[in-house]
C-alpha cells in the first residue's frame, strides 16, 4: 500500500515541478505592449491599521500604499519626472496676487460606488484634514507657515485655493491630500466617529474612492485583494481604460528575507519596498540572467542616512562632551571616515559617497558645490587638535584638556544596515583615537531617546515626503519639530541656523526656480561646513520584479513601483 | 470522576487562570517599561503624538492604565488596540485559531515522529540508532528560526511548497490550500520538539528497561517486542507525559519566531507587530491568549498524566 502511494506522491512532485517550469514566462516582458487584464501579486511587510490616510494612525507605509491604490488627489507629483501633473483637477490658473489658484475639476468623474465627484468632496477633505478633533497627521503638511489654505467652491467643478502667503511649491502640496467621499464619511465625521468609519473591522463596501482600485478582500495577516475600479477616471494614450490590471494582491510578508525568497520563487511579482538589498543583489542578478527576474537601476536614493549629534542646549549644559558642540570635531569625523570603505563593506558597491542631505538623486535640488572632505586622516587629526583633542598620554586615544578620553555613543537601528555602518564608523573613528559605543535599538526606542534628548549621536534616516525642501519645513527650520540636532527652537540657537532660516524663507517664497536653487545651494554649503549631521553614503536604488510585470515606471521613493499602479500591466 | 481527581483539576484550573493574569500583566508592564510608546516615531509629529496620547489616556500613570484595563479584562474586554483602533479581542480571535492550528499540527507531527524514534533508539544499540540520536542532537541545537530559513530556501529553490505566507481558501479548496501552506511552518516548529521527544523517550525507555518488573518479564521469556511495547513503553510514558506540558509551552514560544519568518498569520506575528508598535493592550491581549493556550496544554497533559499515573490523585 505504501509503495503505490509513494509513487503517486513522487509523480505529483515531478508533475508539479514540470508545471512550474511551464509557467515561467519565456519572453521578455518589455517586448509586449501593456493591455488590460491579468493580475499581479506584490508583497507588503505590514498591513494598514486604518483605511483613512487622514487619521493620526494613517501615517504608516501600508496605509499610504492603500491610499495610493484606492484614492486620488487633485494634483500629483510624478515621482519619475518630479513634475506636477493635473490629476482630479484638469487645469488651474494662478491669480495676479500670487496667492489664489482657480482650479477646474475634471468632468464626469465618479467614485468607485458611482457617486459623482464634486467640489463638495474637496471642501470636505480639507475640512477633515484641518479639524483639530481629527488630529490628522497630514494637517501640518497641508499648512503654509502654520496657516491653512482657504478653499472655496464656485460651483460643482470650480474651486479657489487661497494660500496664506506666497508659497513657491504651490500646488505640489496637494500631492499629499487624498480626496475623500463626503457622501460616505460626512455622517461619521459629524458624530466625531471618523476613526471608526473606515476601520478594518467595518464592511469593505463602506469604502469608496477615486483611485484605480477597490479593496475587495482583506484577510488579516494574509492578504489584501484589490480589483479594478470601474469608474476610474484615467485612460492611456490609446484610450484604454486604466488600470490595466484586473486584480492586484498584496501578500503580507513581515520578514524581509522571506519576501526576497518569495520573489525569487516568483510567488510574488514585486515588493512594495522594491529596493534590492545589497545581500540579495547577486541572487537576483543570477535569476535576472536566467530571464526569471528583471532588474532595473533607478537612481541614487533620495533620503540618505546620517550621523546626527545632539546639539541641544540641555545636553551642552551637562558638559559630558563639550567638544561635540565644536564644528572642528564634527569636521574631523567627516574627514576621518573612509566613505568608500562603507560603500564596499556594507553596501557591496551599491552606494555612492555623499557629503550632505541632498543626494545626486534629487536632480533639481542637489548642489555639487557643497563642501566635501574625502578621507584625510591627517587633516582630521589636525581638526581634532583644533578642538582640544590630542593624545596626551600616548595610549592611542585622544583626550580633552582635562585628560578625559574622547568617547561618545551612537544609537542606531538594530538589525538594519545602519547597525553595520555604525560598526564601520566605530572602527574608523578608533583609528583617529575616538572611542565609540554603538547602541542598537528599534525605531520606537530611538525616537523616544531622540525626543527626550537622551543621546550623544544617532545614526538613522528620515524619509522626506517630497523632493522640494520647502515641503519639509519641520526639518529645515530651527523651529521645526524634526530639526534633528536641536528641534523646536524658540529662536535660532546659532547664527548659521538663523541664516538657514532666512534662506529657507527665500526658498519657500521666491517663485523663480533658479533663485530658489541658489538659495538652497547656500543652505547646503552651510550645512556642509557646520555638519550638525554628517552624511556618508547614499544607496543606489535598484528594483527587481518578475518578468510578468509590464510597463513599470520605477521611482526612487517607496513604493517604487506601486506609486503608479494604474499603469502596471501583466505580460501575456 | 472521583473527588480527589476533581479537586486536583479545580486546583490546576485556578493555577491556569492565575497564569493567564500574571503573564498578561507582566507582558503589559514590560512593554510599558521598554523605551518609547505607541506614539513614538519619526513619522508622527510630536504635537500630534502628544494630543493622541492625551486623548487615549496614555499620558496617565501606568498603574491607572493597568487598573482600568484589569477592570475591563475581568469582563472579557481586553481594551482597544492603539495601532488598529479595533477591539483586542477581535484581533486575537482572528489570529489565535491559526496559531492553535499550527501548534496542534506541529505537536502531532512531533509526537508521531519523536516517540517512535525514541522507542527505536532507546530499545537497541545499532549504527542507525546512534545516527538517529546524533541527528536529534543536531536538530535540537539549531534554533527554529534557522530551520525555518533553511526550509524556506528549499521551498524557494525547488518550488515544492509555497515560500511562507498563507492563503487559505483564496485559491482552491480550503483544507488543501491550508495544508500546503501549513507544511513548512509545521515542520520547522515540529523538528526540535520531535528531537526533544526522541531524546526523552529514549532515555525513559532505557531506564524502564532496567526496571525490575521489566527484567522479570525478560526472565519469563517474553518477546522483545512485547517487553518494549507492553512493559517498558507504558512505564516510560509517565516521564514523557510529565514534560509534555512544558513542550506545549515550547510550541508557543517557538511558533513566535517561525510565524514571523514564514509569514504565518498567527498570534506570534501579531504579538511581534504589537511589540514593535508598543501597543500595550494588544501585547497584553496576545500574551493572555498565549497563556490560555499554554494553560490549556498543561491542563491536558495533567489530565493525561493523572489518567496514566493514579498516584497523582492520591497526592491531590
pLDDT, tens digit (0-9, with 9 covering 90-100), for A495-520: 999 999 999 999 999 999 999 999 99
Within 8 A by CB and 6+ apart from A123, the residues are A151, A152, A153, A182
With beta carbons less than 8 A apart as the criterion, state whether A487 and A331 touch: no
First to last CA, chain B: 14
* Distance in angstroms (rounded) separating the CA atoms of residues A93 and A359: 32
* Distance in angstroms (rounded) separating the CA atoms of residues B70 and B280: 13
User: Out of B52, B155, B166, whose CB is closest to A265?
Assistant: B155
Which chain A residues touch B83 with a CB distance below 8 Å? Answer: 49, 57
What was the pLDDT predicted at A32? Answer: 63
Interchain proximity B163–A57, CB inside 8 Å? no
User: Out of A137, A264, A451, whose CB is closest to B48?
Assistant: A137
* Distance in angstroms (rounded) separating the CA atoms of residues A456 and A308: 9
Q: Is A453 left (phi over 0), alpha (psi -120 to 50) or beta?
A: left
Q: Mind listing the pLDDT tens digit for each residue in A83-124?
A: 999 999 999 999 999 999 999 999 999 999 999 999 999 999
* Distance in angstroms (rounded) separating the CA atoms of residues A421 and A171: 38
Q: Is the CB of A147 inside 8 Å of chain B's CB atoms?
A: no
Q: Where are the alpha helices (DSSP H) in B2-41?
A: 3-33
With beta carbons less than 8 A apart as the criterion, state whether A460 and A357 touch: no
Q: Is the CB of A427 inside 8 Å of chain B's CB atoms?
A: no
Strands (E), A27-134: 39-44, 75-77, 84-86, 89-94, 100-105
Angle formed by the axes of helices B233-261 and B174-209, to 10°?
A: 140
CA distances from A461 to A54, A446, A497 (A): 24, 11, 21
SS3 B263: coil
Q: List own/partner pairs for A15-18 with CB under 8 A and 24 or more apart.
A: A16/B159, A16/B160, A17/B158, A17/B159, A17/B160
- The distance of B150 to chain A (nearest Cα, Å) reads 11
Check whether A16 has a pLDDT greater than 70. Answer: no
**How many beta carbons lie within 10 A of that of residue B296, not counting itself?**
13
CA distances from B141 to A66, B136, B146 (A): 42, 9, 10
pLDDT band of A4, cuts 50, 70, 90: very low
Check whether A28 has a pLDDT greater than 80. Answer: no
- The distance of B48 to chain A (nearest Cα, Å) reads 6
For strand A351-353 and strand A435-441, is the pairing parallel, antiparallel, or unpaired?
Answer: unpaired
Q: What percent of chain A has pLDDT over 90?
A: 76
Interchain proximity A199–B156, CB inside 8 Å? no
Interchain proximity A254–B94, CB inside 8 Å? no
Interchain proximity A222–B265, CB inside 8 Å? yes
Q: Mind listing the pLDDT tens digit for each residue in B225-252?
A: 888 887 788 888 878 887 777 787 667 6
Q: Which chain B residues in 143-202 lie under 8 Å from chain A, judged by CB atoms?
A: 149, 152-153, 155-160, 162-168, 170
Which chain A residues touch B168 with a CB distance below 8 Å? Answer: 222
Given CA atoms B104, B108, B111, B114 in this order, what sign does their dihedral have?
negative
Q: Is the CB of A247 inside 8 Å of chain B's CB atoms?
A: no
| Residue A491 CB-density burial (10 A; 0-12 exposed, 13-18 middle, 19+ buried) | exposed
Q: Where are the alpha helices (DSSP H) in B61-211?
A: 62-73, 88-123, 127-141, 144-158, 174-209
Q: Is the CB of B268 inside 8 Å of chain A's CB atoms?
A: no
* Distance in angstroms (rounded) separating the CA atoms of residues A507 and A516: 5
Cell 484550573, residue located: B13
What was the pLDDT predicted at B168? Answer: 61
Which chain B residues touch A23 with a CB distance below 8 Å? Answer: none
Nearest in space to A246 (alpha carbons), one of A71, A42, A36, A35: A36
With beta carbons less than 8 A apart as the criterion, state whether A421 and B9 touch: no
With beta carbons less than 8 A apart as the criterion, state whether B52 and A49 touch: no
* Distance in angstroms (rounded) separating the CA atoms of residues A259 and B53: 34
Interchain proximity B46–A481, CB inside 8 Å? yes
Which chain B residues touch A143 with a CB distance below 8 Å? Answer: none
Cis peptide preceding A336, ω within 30 of 0: no
Q: How many Cα atoms occupy the beta-carbon half-sphere of A435 within 13 Å?
A: 13
- The distance of B234 to chain A (nearest Cα, Å) reads 29
- Nearest residue of B to residue A454 by CA position? B35
Q: List the single best residue of B31, B32, B46 to mutate versus A (max A Cβ within 10 A).
A: B46
CA distances from A228 to A38, A215, A235 (A): 11, 9, 13
Q: Is A552 left (phi over 0), alpha (psi -120 to 50) or beta?
A: beta
Q: Is the CB of A71 inside 8 Å of chain B's CB atoms?
A: no
Nearest in space to A556 (alpha carbons), one of A361, A368, A353, A367: A361
Given CA atoms A355, A357, A360, A361 in this order, what sign does their dihedral have?
positive
With beta carbons less than 8 A apart as the criterion, state whether A391 and A399 touch: yes
Nearest in space to A109 (alpha carbons), one of A183, A247, A211, A205: A211
* Distance in angstroms (rounded) separating the CA atoms of residues A387 and A370: 23
Q: Is the CB of A481 inside 8 Å of chain B's CB atoms?
A: yes
Strands (E), A213-332: 213-219, 223-228, 247-252, 270-271, 293-300, 305-309
User: Which of residues A339 and B39 earns the better pLDDT score?
Assistant: A339
Which residue ranges of chain B lie beneath pLDDT 70?
A: 1-4, 168-172, 249-250, 252-254, 308-316
* Distance in angstroms (rounded) separating the CA atoms of residues A164 and A173: 14
Average pLDDT, chain A: 90
Q: List the single best residue of A222, A442, A448, A483 to mutate versus B (max B Cβ within 10 A).
A: A222
Q: Could you say which DSSP state residue A174 is in?
A: G
Interchain proximity B164–A196, CB inside 8 Å? no
Nearest in space to A321 (alpha carbons), one of A386, A409, A428, A397: A409
With beta carbons less than 8 A apart as the criterion, state whether A343 and A537 touch: yes
Check whether A7 has a pLDDT greater than 60. Answer: no
Paired strand residues for A352? A538
Paired strand residues for A152? A160
Which chain A residues touch B91 with a CB distance below 8 Å? Answer: 220
ipTM of the complex: 0.75
| Residue A333 CB-density burial (10 A; 0-12 exposed, 13-18 middle, 19+ buried) | buried
Within 8 A by CB and 6+ apart from B122, the residues are B201, B202, B203, B204, B205, B206, B209, B236
Which chain A residues touch B180 with a CB distance below 8 Å? Answer: none
- Nearest residue of A to residue B54 by CA position? A135
Say how many residues make up chain B: 316
Interchain proximity B85–A253, CB inside 8 Å? no
CA A238 to chain centre: 32
In this prediction, residues A260-283 reach a mean pLDDT of: 90
Q: Could you say which DSSP state residue A276 is in?
A: P
Interchain proximity A265–B48, CB inside 8 Å? no
With beta carbons less than 8 A apart as the criterion, state whether A88 and A215 touch: no
With beta carbons less than 8 A apart as the criterion, state whether A561 and A270 touch: yes
Q: List the single best residue of A49, A199, A415, A462 to mutate versus B (max B Cβ within 10 A).
A: A49
Q: How many Cα atoms occupy the beta-carbon half-sphere of B225 within 13 Å?
A: 0
Check whether A287 has a pLDDT greater than 70. Answer: yes
* Distance in angstroms (rounded) separating the CA atoms of residues A449 and A442: 11
What are φ and ψ of residue A162, in 5° steps?
Answer: -110, 115
SS3 A364: coil
In this prediction, residues A129-133 reach a mean pLDDT of: 94
Q: Is the CB of A341 inside 8 Å of chain B's CB atoms?
A: no
Q: Is the CB of B89 inside 8 Å of chain A's CB atoms?
A: no
Q: Could you tell me the three cell numbers for A487?
A: 528641534
With beta carbons less than 8 A apart as the criterion, state whether A159 and A121 touch: no
Which chain B residues touch A129 with a CB distance below 8 Å? Answer: none
Interchain proximity B155–A261, CB inside 8 Å? yes
What was the pLDDT predicted at B207? Answer: 87
With beta carbons less than 8 A apart as the criterion, state whether B139 and B191 touch: yes
SS3 A231: coil
Q: Is the CB of B68 inside 8 Å of chain A's CB atoms?
A: no
| Listed range (A217-226, A326-335, B300-309) with the worst mean pLDDT | B300-309
Interchain proximity A251–B36, CB inside 8 Å? no
Q: Could you tell me the three cell numbers for A516?
A: 530658489
Q: Could you tell me the three cell numbers for B231?
A: 512493559
What was the pLDDT predicted at A88? Answer: 97
Which chain B residues touch A221 with a CB distance below 8 Å? Answer: 94-95, 98, 166, 265-266, 269-270
State the count of interchain CB pairs (< 8 A) between A and B: 159
Nearest in space to A550 (alpha carbons), one of A248, A299, A197, A294: A294
In this prediction, residues A271-285 reach a mean pLDDT of: 89
* Distance in angstroms (rounded) separating the CA atoms of residues B104 and A146: 56
* Distance in angstroms (rounded) separating the CA atoms of residues A445 and A437: 17
pTM of the model: 0.84
User: Out of B85, B164, B167, whose CB is closest to A57?
Assistant: B85
Amino acid at each position: 500500500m505504501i509503495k503505490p502511494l509513494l509513487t503517486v506522491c513522487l509523480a505529483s512532485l515531478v508533475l508539479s515541478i514540470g508545471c512550474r517550469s511551464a509557467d515561467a514566462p519565456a519572453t521578455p516582458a518589455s517586448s509586449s505592449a501593456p493591455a488590460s487584464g491579468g493580475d499581479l501579486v506584490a508583497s507588503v511587510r505590514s498591513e494598514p491599521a486604518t483605511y483613512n490616510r487622514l487619521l493620526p494612525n494613517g501615517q504608516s507605509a501600508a496605509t499610504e500604499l492603500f491610499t495610493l491604490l484606492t484614492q486620488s488627489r487633485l494634483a500629483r507629483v510624478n515621482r519619475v519626472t518630479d513634475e506636477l501633473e493635473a490629476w482630479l483637477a484638469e487645469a488651474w490658473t494662478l491669480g495676479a496676487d500670487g496667492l489664489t489658484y482657480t482650479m477646474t475639476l475634471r468632468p464626469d468623474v465618479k467614485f468607485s460606488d458611482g457617486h459623482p465627484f464634486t467640489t463638495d468632496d474637496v471642501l470636505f477633505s480639507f475640512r477633515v484634514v484641518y479639524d483639530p478633533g481629527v488630529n490628522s497627521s497630514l494637517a501640518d503638511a497641508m499648512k503654509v507657515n502654520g496657516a491653512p489654505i482657504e478653499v472655496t467652491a464656485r460651483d460643482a467643478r470650480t474651486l479657489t485655493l487661497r494660500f496664506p502667503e506666497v508659497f513657491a511649491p504651490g500646488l505640489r502640496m496637494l500631492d499629499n491630500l487624498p480626496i475623500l467621499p463626503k457622501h460616505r464619511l460626512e455622517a461619521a465625521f459629524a458624530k466625531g466617529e471618523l476613526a471608526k468609519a473606515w476601520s478594518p473591522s467595518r464592511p469593505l463596501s463602506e469604502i469608496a474612492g477615486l483611485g484605480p482600485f477597490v479593496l475587495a478582500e482583506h484577510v488579516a495577516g494574509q492578504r489584501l485583494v484589490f480589483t479594478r475600479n470601474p469608474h476610474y477616471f484615467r485612460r492611456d494614450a490609446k484610450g484604454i481604460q486604466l488600470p490595466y490590471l484586473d486584480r492586484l494582491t498584496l501578500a503580507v510578508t513581515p520578514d524581509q528575507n522571506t519576501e526576497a525568497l518569495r520573489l525569487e520563487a516568483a510567488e510574488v511579482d514585486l515588493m512594495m519596498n522594491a529596493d534590492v538589498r545589497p545581500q540579495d543583489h547577486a541572487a537576483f542578478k543570477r535569476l535576472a540572467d536566467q530571464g526569471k527576474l528583471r532588474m532595473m537601476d533607478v537612481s541614487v536614493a533620495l533620503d540618505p542616512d546620517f550621523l546626527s549629534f545632539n546639539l541641544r542646549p540641555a545636553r551642552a549644559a551637562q558638559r559630558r562632551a563639550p567638544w561635540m558642540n565644536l564644528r572642528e570635531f564634527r569636521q574631523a569625523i567627516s574627514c576621518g571616515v573612509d566613505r568608500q570603505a562603507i560603500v564596499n563593506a556594507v553596501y557591496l558597491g551599491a552606494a555612492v559617497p555623499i557629503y550632505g542631505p541632498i543626494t545626486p538623486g534629487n536632480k533639481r535640488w542637489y548642489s555639487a558645490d557643497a563642501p566635501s572632505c574625502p578621507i584625510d586622516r591627517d587633516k582630521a587629526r589636525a581638526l581634532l587638535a583644533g578642538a582640544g583633542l590630542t593624545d596626551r598620554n600616548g595610549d592611542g586615544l585622544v583626550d580633552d584638556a582635562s585628560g578625559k578620553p574622547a568617547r561618545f555613543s551612537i544609537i542606531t537601528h538594530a538589525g538594519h544596515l545602519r547597525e553595520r555602518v555604525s560598526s564601520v564608523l566605530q572602527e574608523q573613528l578608533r583609528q583617529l583615537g575616538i572611542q565609540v559605543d554603538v547602541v542598537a535599538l528599534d525605531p520606537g526606542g530611538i525616537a523616544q531617546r531622540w525626543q527626550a534628548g537622551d543621546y550623544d549621536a544617532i545614526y538613522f534616516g528620515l524619509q522626506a515626503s517630497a523632493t522640494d525642501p520647502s515641503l519639509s519645513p519641520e526639518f529645515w527650520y530651527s523651529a521645526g519639530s524634526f530639526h534633528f540636532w536641536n528641534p523646536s527652537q524658540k529662536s535660532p540657537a546659532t547664527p548659521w541656523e538663523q541664516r538657514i532660516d532666512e534662506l529657507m524663507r527665500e526658498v519657500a517664497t521666491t517663485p523663480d526656480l533658479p533663485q530658489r536653487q541658489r538659495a538652497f545651494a547656500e543652505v547646503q554649503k552651510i550645512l556642509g561646513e557646520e555638519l550638525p549631521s554628517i552624511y556618508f553614503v547614499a544607496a543606489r536604488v535598484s528594483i527587481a520584479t518578475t518578468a510578468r510585470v509590464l510597463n513599470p515606471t520605477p521611482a526612487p521613493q517607496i513604493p517604487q513601483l506601486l506609486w503608479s499602479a494604474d499603469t502596471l500591466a501583466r505580460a501575456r | 470522576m472521583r473527588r480527589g481527581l476533581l479537586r486536583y483539576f479545580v486546583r490546576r484550573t485556578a493555577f491556569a487562570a492565575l497564569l493567564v493574569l500574571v503573564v498578561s500583566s507582566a507582558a503589559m508592564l514590560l512593554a510599558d517599561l521598554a523605551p518609547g510608546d505607541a506614539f513614538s516615531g519619526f513619522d508622527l509629529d510630536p504635537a500630534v503624538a502628544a494630543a493622541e496620547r492625551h486623548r487615549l489616556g496614555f499620558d496617565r500613570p501606568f498603574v491607572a492604565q493597568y487598573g482600568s484595563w484589569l477592570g475591563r479584562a475581568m469582563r472579557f474586554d481586553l481594551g482597544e488596540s492603539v495601532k488598529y483602533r479595533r477591539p483586542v479581542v477581535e484581533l486575537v480571535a482572528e489570529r489565535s485559531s491559526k496559531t492553535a492550528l499550527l501548534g496542534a499540527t506541529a505537536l502531532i507531527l512531533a509526537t508521531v515522529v519523536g516517540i517512535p524514534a525514541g522507542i527505536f533508539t532507546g530499545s537497541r544499540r545499532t549504527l542507525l540508532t546512534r545516527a538517529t540520536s546524533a541527528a536529534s542532537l543536531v536538530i535540537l541545537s539549531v534554533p527554529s528560526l534557522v530551520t525555518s530559513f533553511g526550509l524556506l530556501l528549499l521551498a524557494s529553490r525547488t518550488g515544492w511548497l509555497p515560500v511562507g505566507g498563507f492563503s487559505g481558501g483564496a485559491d482552491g479548496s480550503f483544507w488543501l490550500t491550508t495544508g500546503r501552506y501549513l507544511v513548512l511552518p509545521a515542520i520547522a516548529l515540529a523538528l526540535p520538539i520531535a528531537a526533544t521527544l526522541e531524546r526523552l523517550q529514549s532515555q525513559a525507555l532505557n531506564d524502564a528497561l532496567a526496571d525490575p518488573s521489566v527484567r522479570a518479564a525478560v526472565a519469563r521469556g517474553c518477546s522483545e517486542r512485547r517487553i518494549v511495547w507492553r512493559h517498558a513503553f507504558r512505564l516510560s510514558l509517565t516521564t514523557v507525559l510529565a514534560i509534555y506540558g512544558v513542550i506545549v509551552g515550547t510550541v508557543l514560544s517557538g511558533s513566535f519566531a517561525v510565524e514571523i519568518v514564514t509569514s504565518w498569520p498567527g498570534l506570534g506575528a501579531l504579538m511581534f507587530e504589537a511589540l514593535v508598535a508598543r501597543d500595550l493592550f494588544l501585547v497584553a491581549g496576545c500574551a493572555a491568549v498565549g497563556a490560555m493556550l499554554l494553560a490549556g496544554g498543561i491542563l491536558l497533559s495533567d489530565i493525561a498524566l493523572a489518567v496514566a499515573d493514579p498516584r497523582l490523585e492520591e497526592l491531590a
